[in-house]
Chains A and B, each alone.
Chain A
Amino acid sequence: MSEPGTNDSQEAEVTNEPLVEAPADTVAGEVVLRLTDVVKTFPGVRALDGVQLEVRAGEVHCLLGQNGAGKSTLIKVLAGVHRPDAGEVVWRGEPAAFANPQAAMRAGIATIYQELDLVEDLSVGENAFLGHEPRRLGFVRRGHMARRTRQILARLGHPEIPPGRLVRHLPAAGKQIVSMARALSHEARLIIMDEPSAVLAHDEVGNLFRIIRELTAQGIAVIYISHRLEEIREIGDRVTVLKDGRTTAANLPARETPTRDLVSRMTGRTIEYVFPDRPAADSTGTELLRVEGLTRQGEFADVSLDVRAGEIVGIAGLVGSGRSELLETIYGARRAQAGTVRMGGRTLRPGSVGAAVRAGLGMAPEERKSQALLLGEPIYRNVTLATFGRYARLGFTDAGRERAAADRIAASLELRPRDVRRPVRTLSGGNQQKVVVGRWLLGDTRLLLLDEPTRGVDVGARAELYQVIRELAARGVGVLLVSSEVPEVLGLADRVLVMREGRVVREAPAGELDENTVLDLVMAGSLMEGAPA
């Protein structure tokens, strides 16, 4: 690229220079970051509800928690994206309130997000120094920047990445290295890594760990987030566990703490799950849905399952286990590469949501706001989004009948506020979810697919949603439910499938499983055992 080949000899020299000197004022083992009772609320959700965290220089501090435990919000507070509503953040001995991400960066906190925030069409060096390019008289000192980038990359063990190469042309692992180079270019004293291994292949994880060890040897603190317990055992020094926005355990030794302890702290109920009484399991219902050998490359493979009328089938699994993708494929929103979906004995046309809806399927997708709702439109139009055609005569809509129908749904779901003309935007998360579920109560939906139906839903609305789901099943509707909250799956479903890395690893009646067994199954697979092909 822009670098002449003659620089190569120079490069060999500079790699030997120390790149980032361990900050002289940081003593290894000293506490660099302390969070006390940090609270952050969003409309309808208390994302952080009293978080304690203590990070020392030179350690790898692991954050553990299920989806929705508040890890992402916590990272964003540290990175200056969100400001806490209450509580104290002490950074290197002084109370800190980062006004924006740049301020956090300047203070020495670098964050490497899961979806790396790199500019694909800039070079490696330009990305590493993005926003703080070495300058002279307003001109970027390209040579100097390339040299320093090369030093940093060498330090990271990757001298082979040319600073002039476009980031677009790097593999995922390479992009991650560039993100780390950016952190080092800021002379970061704390690097937050959000599931860095998720995008890496098996052997690349080893390299990542080697880099992390080198960083910590220089006194840099690392906050490491991962779902995989095995990784935490290998790289972590101490563990803090989050559950429902609270710290449930702080500073556990990463290697010695028994898995069972960690798991119970992650799941130990701080939320009261109120499940309606389970009616006697009715195994006589006719078969509604039969899925056979469903496969999508890289998402899930050879999944077979069935749902009977009046039955609630739950799928337990973590993000990345292929559960949401499976649901969307059954629904026709994604096209399967192999396998069939049959509804009431008839094979559904693959990749056609319309065919699935006509066959009596309905879905409440994972991301309510982006996948299910027209936020600015009135409630009733959201409720009738899948059925307004039925209320229409000769193509002319009948808003009056739609409103009446939506009113009935709102009443039966105890929607608050009840006025169906209000925009959906004004509803809380739980009530928005009721709108999405209510949409499918209007048509003649025979099978409802629910993806994380209670995410971001407060406790009261949660219990009401459980009640609704049960009542639907009692009316003979089949329900296929996906949730990362194991108690929810166990408490609600009649039958449970456990998914891990795209495969169903266990199927059993809910009564025969307990939470710890399911969690073990869900978490067991780790990269250390070998990544899926």
Chain B
Amino acid sequence: MSDMTPTAAPERAAELPAQSPPVDPAETAKADRSARLSWWRGDGGEGAKRNFGLLATLVVLVVIGILTRPDLYGDASWVWGNTLTILKLASVVGVVTVGMTFVIIGGGIDLSVGAIVALAGVWCTTVATQSYGAGGMIFSALTVGLAVGVVNGLLISYGRLVPFIATLAMMVAARGLAAEISDKQTQVSNDSFINGIATVKLLGIPLLVYILGAVVLAGWVLLNRTTFGRRTVAVGGNPEAARLAGINVRRHTVLLYALSGLCCGIAAIMLTAQATSAQAAMANLYELDAIAAAIIGGTLLSGGRGTIIGSLLGVIIFSTITNLFAINGLSSEAQNMVKGGIIVAAVLVQQVQFRSLSQFLARNRATTT
């Protein structure tokens, strides 16, 4: 072994950096500063900054509203009522978007959410289900949503189908099943408790808004404060690293789609209550609204990054635009064009932010090495 002991080439060794480079005092000060700021920045400094951008967008939209209809905005009670209208409008898609956000952060996509809402809605309003009363209807909607989500997850994680394909197939199939069950008829909900969900107000705020708030809060806690959320970020951010760290990636993938399905079940009850009926064509294109909201909310489509608050703001921005067009008496076609533009703008802004961030990091590295 003695012949193996190191004998360095001297001219090379001279060039090598000292083994423990002295700590740069400026560097330490910077670290201290960032530690002091961390109480409000938390770990999600980037996410928080993005959400400020979304809030700014929202403010701009409100300002546009004030400028175009100063007459309405002069009336405080109208402003309050209109705000609730916007939130109510956002509530159903918002619940779906929370589930979608988890799926996308986990590295997948769920195109079947609209169809699941329709299937769950139709299922819980059949004559047979309604005979069990409100409890039976809620139970069946949630179970159907959960079950379809589990099927999605199993197809993707154990059947090794690409999420896009699996959920696209489910989107078609679930709507087909919904049409079959309802015989393409609109099924009226006769349950006053269910219908009341859309009309009841607590402290002047619609129950639907509370439901959205509860789902968002639960989603935030789940993503940021639980092992489930941590696994979601790991599985979406680097599935191989997650697997090699001992995380059961397949099982977690099933759970993610199940969660999305469950959110769809909740949304189905809310939507059925609003319409006091359900039909196979309901919740049309919700998948696009939910994906778009998550994306402008800063969720990375390739997974591993995203925030629940961002998604919520994304949904609210969209419903504010809808509202803006409505109060100005403009067509919904023009509205869709603006929405498309907003999606593009949001992604462009994120790319610029990301690029400047990586440039910043590159500079940082250059100075430390």
A residues sitting closer than 8 Å to B (CB atoms) are 43-44, 268-275, 278, 331, 333, 353-354, 356-358, 363, 365, 370-378, 381, 385-386, 388-389, 392, 395-397, 399, 414, 416-419, 421, 425-426, 428, 439, 458-460, 463-464, 487, 490-491, 510-511, 514-515
In the complex, what distance in Å separates the CA atom of A353 from the CA atom of B362?
Answer: 35
A130-B27 Cα distance, complex, nearest whole Å: 50
Pick the contact of B21 from A269, A460, A515 — CB < 8 Å?
Answer: A460
Whether B226 pairs with A460 at a CB distance below 8 angstroms is: no
What CA separation (Å) do A68 and B101 show in the bound complex?
40
Chain B residues whose C-beta falls within 8 Å of the C-beta of A381 in the assembled complex: 43, 230, 233
* Segment among B48-56, B79-87, B244-252 that sits at the interface with chain A: B244-252
- A389–B227 CB distance below 8 A: yes
Q: A487 near B369 (CB under 8 angstroms)?
A: no
Chain B residues with CB under 8 Å of chain A are 1, 3-9, 12-13, 16-21, 23, 27, 31, 34-35, 38, 43, 225-230, 233-234, 237-238, 240-248, 304-305, 361-362, 364-366, 368-369
Assess whether A460 is in contact with B227, with CB atoms less than 8 Å apart: no
Known contacts A273-B6, A397-B227, A460-B21: A370-B245 contact under CB 8 Å: no
Indicate whether A419 sits within 8 Å of B34 (C-beta atoms), given known contacts A269-B6, A396-B225, A425-B361. yes
Q: CB within 8 A of A376: which of B1, B18, B23, B237? A: B237
Given the contacts A370-B238, A374-B237, A439 and B369 also touching, CB distance less than 8 Å: no
Compute how far the CA of A428 lies from the CA of B364 in the bound complex, rounded to whole angstroms.
11
Pairwise interchain contact A272-B13, C-beta atoms closer than 8 A: yes
In the complex, what residues of B have CB within 8 A of residue A378's CB?
43
Contact B34 A370 (CB under 8 A): no
Q: Chain B residues near A375 (CB, 8 Å)?
A: 237-238
B-side contacts of A357, CB under 8 Å = 245-246
Q: Decide: B241 and A374 in contact? CB cutoff 8 A.
A: yes
| Sampled A-B contacts (7; CB under 8 Å) | A269-B7, A371-B241, A392-B227, A397-B230, A491-B4, A491-B6, A514-B4
Contact among A273, A397, A439 for B245, CB-based, below 8 A: A439
Q: Which residue of A lies closest to B4 (CB)?
A: A490
Tell me if B226 and A428 are in contact (CB < 8 A): no
Q: Knowing A271-B12, A377-B237 are in contact, say whether A460-B244 is a contact too (CB < 8 A).
A: no
In whole Å, how far is A317's beta carbon from the nearest beta carbon of chain B? 18
A399 and B234 alpha carbons, distance in the complex (Å): 15
- Tell me the nearest residue of chain B to A487, going by C-beta: B4
Interface SS of chain A: loop
Do residues B361 and A514 form an inter-chain contact, with CB atoms below 8 A? Answer: no
Shortest CB-to-CB span from A279 to chain B, Å, is 13
CB distance from A399 to the nearest CB of B (A): 7
Most chain B CB neighbours (cut-off 10 Å) among A272, A357, A358, A395: A272
Contact in complex: A331, B8 (CB < 8 Å):
no
Complex interface: chain B residues within 8 A of A275 (CB): 5-6
Contacts of A331 in B (CB 8 A): 244
- Is A460's CB under 8 angstroms from B20's CB? yes
Query: Closest Cβ of chain A: how far from B172's Cβ, in Å?
Result: 27
Query: How many angstroms from the CA of A278 to the CA of B248 in the assembled complex?
Result: 38
Compute how far the CA of A77 lies from the CA of B13 in the bound complex, rounded to whole angstroms. 26
